[in-house]
Structure 1
Amino acid sequence: MIQQTPRRTMPNGELLSQKLGLSDPYQPLLQAEVIEALKTLFDSHAGQKLYQGTVQNLIQIISSMDDSNPDLGDIKKVIKKKEITFKNKILQTIDNDLEETAGFAFSSSVRQKTNSAMLEGLQGIGLTKIANDFYYYVGSDKALKLSVNRAVMLRKLVVLDGDDSAVEKEFPDFSKMMSVEFVRNGQYTVLPYPVKYLREFWNYEQRIHPIDPAKFE
């Protein structure tokens, strides 16, 4: 049985804030320190020609800046003017390395799969256990935006016949019924499609053949 609850999913706000702060465009940086951080990455990736070539290109671009104390956003604008996209996988890897070693990054890695644990409950379909009860969530099936308009509801799963081990055993098949292509153009549904269709059929029957409450008095 599926029960609605007042529970909502919540991302790891503290960690998210820390991660987003590393790519704050208003963060002041020293040009020399940025170049030094990139040189460190260059030296630590010997033999990786594509990686080193991209790093060397970034060093040349940043070295050409007149401002010795630019904001991170200013550096990013200069890089973008050279038609370098931060969606490039090599640049994403460099950004991740800068996050770990230098305390800044040109673009946030929050929405990358490597940080999916921080956004658990907002994306995909999943099962969680709280105080011995099972709940499931249905998040977005698309890449998350930096602003999320609403939280995702947790729905409780109650076993009517058998024990709770059935929940974990059957959930993979259960979740597949919320991600079928013929419902909502392939988007996730918050209820398995048989439940959704049965509810719609029942509502239709109620409209066509309304029940007279007087019959039950």
Structure 2
Amino acid sequence: MDLAKPHMDVGLFTNRRDEQLHFWQQTIGLEYDHMGKLGGGMQQLRHHMNGSILKVNHARDPLPPAPPSGIARVRIARPGLAEPRELADPDGNRVLLAPPGHEGVVGIAIELAVNNRDAHDRFWRHAMQFDSPAPGVYVCGDTRVMIVEERKVERCDDWRARGWRYTTVQIRDCVAEHAGVLARGGEEGRPPMLLGDTVRYSFVRDPDGNFIELSQRASLVGHL
């Protein structure tokens, strides 16, 4: 996969804008970048996270009830910590702050609960073309995807629901990478779409149905 930046991003949806901004900016200490409009009463409040972006997507209208995604927790490397510190945001999304290098994480890690480890191993190594330095660990630049437990994960077809909902891989050619993931056995979430002159993006899904955005962002690659 031809990456446009060596970090994955992660997104959540919430109805609690002010509480979430206070938590991520004041408690976690992330730097606010800017707000983008998604349409349909949705605003995306973007924050810097060790080269990755945290996307706090605020919905004006109540979000639909839905089972949690397979994203169990997000780890963030934080200089100055002597030991890991576990927290939860106002919606209960789990976060782990840890010293840089703890279990190999120097940027962020996205921890997954999965129905079947073997199916995810095939997906992340073959369909997504991520390297795997250890069993259940897959790398995208300096971001790690880590399988942390095998348990029942319910499939959710609505990616705009409360909680951790999707990850983003920034690539140079959305159309080509989307077709490549499907050809290698990945499942389509949404076909490539164009958002003004900002981004061309699509969604694919992992074996449990979690959404992964493939994003060709003009600010990174210079063209759409």
The alignment's TM-score, normalised by the length of structure 1, stands at 0.22
Which is greater in Rg?
Answer: 1
More helix by share: 1
More strand by share: 2
